[in-house]
Amino acid sequence: MDISQLHQYLMIMSNLKDLTISQASKLLEKKEISAVELTNETLSLIDSEDKDINAFITITKEKALEQAKEIDSKRNLGEKLSKLAGIPYSLKDVYQVKGIKTTAGSKILENYQSQYDATVYAKLSKSGAVLIGKTNCDPFGFGSSTENSAFGATHNPINKDYVPGGSSGGSGAAIAYGAGLFSIGEDTGGSIRCPASFCGIFGLKPTYGRVSRYGSIAYASSYDCVGPMAKTAEDTALLLEVIAGQDEHDATSSPNNVPRYTETLTQSLEGKVIGLPKEYFTDALDPEVRQIIMLAVDKYKSLGCIIKDISLPYTKYSVAAYYVVGISEASSNLARYDGVRYGFRAEGNDWKEIYMNTRGQAFTDEEKRRVLVGTYALSSGYADQYYKKAQKVRQLLRQDFQRAFTEVDIILTPTMPVLPFKIGEKTDDPLKLWLVDAFTTAINPVGVPAMSVPAGNSKGLPVGMQLITPHFEEGKLLNFAHQFETA
C-alpha cells in the first residue's frame, strides 16, 4: 500500500459514520479496502464507543471475522459477489441466529441460544453481508425509547442525554455512530420508523407480508414487519431487494414478485400528488417538527409535486384500536414464556409458583402491563367490548387509506409528533410514551408500507418525515425518498 492509498484508507475508516453501502461496495470491489479491514475497524469503533451508547446486546466478533475472511477469499478468486458482500451490519435482537444468544431485550430470554436461523438472516448471509452483532431493544418491542430493555437503556449518539427511539433503538443508534452500515429492525407500530426519525436515518416498514417474519420473535403477529434501516434511500432499496420475497416457512409472506427497487429511484415526481392528512397537523404537533415538515413539503413542490389536503377521519381511533389488538396478541404470544420450556426459570414448590416467580422476576413493568391489559381485553365478557370492536375500527382505517389513495399518489406526515426527548423524561407516565407513536400506529393495522426519511434538524435533533403508499408500492416510496434526499 503506497502513501496515497494509505491516506485514502485512513480517511475511509475515520468516517465510518458516513460510509454508505453503495460507497463501501465499490471500495471492496476495487480492493481498496478488504472485508476484514472494514469489519475490524467497525468492531474497534464498537469497542471504543458502545460503552457510552449501549446499542448492542451481543457482539458476534468471531463469526463476523470468519464471514469477512470468506468474502475476501472469494473476491480474490474472482467470484462474482453481491453488493452486500463484506458489508458489516447488525440485527435487532429479536432475530434468531443459530448458536447465537437471542434475548428480545428481555431477561426471560437472557441466556437463550437460537436453534435455527431467521429467513432475513439467511438471505443476508447468502448475499455475503457480515453480521457484527445483535442490537438492544425494548423487550419484545414494547416501547418507543429503548429504555425498557433488561440490558439497560440505549443512548442517542447525536446527543447522549436523549433517547434513540424504539423499540429498534439499538439498531438506529448503531447506524448513527457508524457501528455497521445498516441494520434490520422490526416494526409493530413504529419500531423502525421512530428510531429512524430520532437518529436521523432511513427506516422502512414494508407492506405486511413483503418480508418473511420466520425466525422473528413475535410481539403482535398481525402487525409485525421485518424491515431495513440505513443511511440512504438507495441503500434501503438495495436491502429490500435482498430480503423481500415469499418464504415457505411463513404462510403470511406474499407471493408477489420483488421489483428492482434501485432501478426506479430517479423517476421524475413531476405531477405526482402528495396528500397531507389534516389529522396529523393538529395543535398537538410540536411547532418545531411542523416547521421542518412544511419545509420538506415546499421541497416537494419545487420537484413538481402537487400538494393536496386530505382527511383520514378514523385516525383519532387508531392509537386505541392499535393497542387493544396489539396488546391482545402480545399477551397470547407471551404465554409461551412460562419458565418450563425455555428461557429463564425461577424456583418454586409447584408449577403455579414457578410460573408466577419466573414472570414476576423476569418481566419488566412494561411487559407485565401489556400482558395484563391484553389478557383483560380478550377475557370473557370483554372481548366483544374491546377486541372485536378494535378489529372493526381496523377495517375502517383500511377504508380511510383506500379512499385517500384514490385521490393522491402518496401520503406525507411527520414520523413523530415530538422531537427526541431526554432519557427518563417520560418513564413515569406510560400513557405519554404510548402516545408518542400516534403517527405511526395507524399504519400497521392497515398493512401498507411506510418510511421515515430524514427531513432536517431542530435544536440539534433530527426530525423524520413519514411517507406512506398503497400496499406493495415500496418502489414509489423509495423513489419519493430518494428524490427528496438528492434535492
**Residues 96-141: tens digit of each pLDDT:** 999 999 999 999 999 999 999 999 999 999 999 999 999 999 999 9
- 330 with 373: CB under 8 angstroms? no
Average pLDDT for residues 267-287, to the nearest whole number?
Answer: 97
The yes-or-no verdict on residue 421 having pLDDT over 70 is: yes
Average pLDDT for residues 306-327, to the nearest whole number?
Answer: 96
- 357 with 339: CB under 8 angstroms? yes
- Nearest residue to 219 via CA among 326, 147, 112, 319: 326
Give the pLDDT score at 300: 98
Task: Spell out the residues 6+ positions from residue 335 whose beta carbon is closer than 8 angstroms to its own.
Answer: none
Helix 318-333 vs helix 389-404: angle between axes, to the nearest 10 degrees? 130
For 131-174, write each residue's pLDDT tens digit: 999 999 999 999 999 999 999 999 999 999 999 999 999 999 99
For 99-108, write each residue's pLDDT tens digit: 999 999 999 9
Measuring CA to CA, how many Å separate 381 from each of 180, 348, 372, 386, 426? 49, 32, 16, 10, 33
Average pLDDT for residues 366-383, to the nearest whole number?
Answer: 92
- How much of the chain exceeds pLDDT 70, in percent? 97
Give the pLDDT score at 343: 85
Give the pLDDT score at 4: 53
User: pLDDT band at 378, cuts 50/70/90?
Assistant: very high
* Strand 56-59 with 130-135, pairing: antiparallel
User: pLDDT band at 427, cuts 50/70/90?
Assistant: confident
A 10 A CB-CB count for 159 gives: 15
Give the pLDDT score at 182: 98
- 178 with 197: CB under 8 angstroms? no
A 10 A CB-CB count for 395 gives: 13
**CA gap 39, 54 in Å, rounded:** 19
The HSE-up count of residue 130 (CA atoms within 13 Å, CB side) is: 34
**Domains of the chain and any CATH numbers:** 3-264 (3.90.1300.10)
Cell numbers at residue 167, please? 423499540
Give the pLDDT score at 229: 98
**CA gap 403, 398 in Å, rounded:** 9
Name the amino acid, one letter, at 10.
L
The yes-or-no verdict on residue 3 having pLDDT over 80 is: no
Give the pLDDT score at 282: 94
Question: Active-site residue numbers?
Answer: 92, 167, 191
- 81 with 68: CB under 8 angstroms? no
For 5-43, write each residue's pLDDT tens digit: 555 565 666 688 999 999 999 999 999 999 999 999 999
Cell numbers at residue 458, please? 431542530
User: pLDDT band at 70, cuts 50/70/90?
Assistant: very high
Q: Is 361 exposed, middle or buried (0-12, 13-18, 19+ CB in 10 A)?
A: middle
Average pLDDT for residues 375-395, to the nearest whole number?
Answer: 94
Average pLDDT for residues 54-77, to the nearest whole number?
Answer: 98
Concatenated DSSP letters of 27-70: HHHTTSS-HHHHHHHHHHHHHHHHHHH--EEEE-HHHHHHHHHH
A 10 A CB-CB count for 196 gives: 38
User: pLDDT band at 381, cuts 50/70/90?
Assistant: confident
The yes-or-no verdict on residue 68 having pLDDT over 90 is: yes
Strand order in the sheet with 273-277: 56-59, 130-135, 88-92, 182-187, 225-230, 202-205, 450-458, 461-468, 410-414, 273-277, 306-310
Among 181-190, 359-368, 468-477, the range scoring the smallest mean pLDDT is 359-368
User: pLDDT band at 340, cuts 50/70/90?
Assistant: confident
* Torsion angle of the four alpha carbons 190, 172, 293, 416, in this order, in degrees rounded to the nearest 10: 30
User: pLDDT band at 436, cuts 50/70/90?
Assistant: confident
- Check residue 231 and report its DSSP letter: S
**CA gap 145, 156 in Å, rounded:** 10
Measuring CA to CA, how many Å separate 459 from each of 284, 288, 375? 19, 9, 42
**CA gap 403, 312 in Å, rounded:** 9
**CA gap 367, 75 in Å, rounded:** 46
- 416 with 454: CB under 8 angstroms? no
- Nearest residue to 41 via CA among 168, 178, 160: 178
Instruction: Report the chain's mean pLDDT, rounded to a whole number.
Output: 95
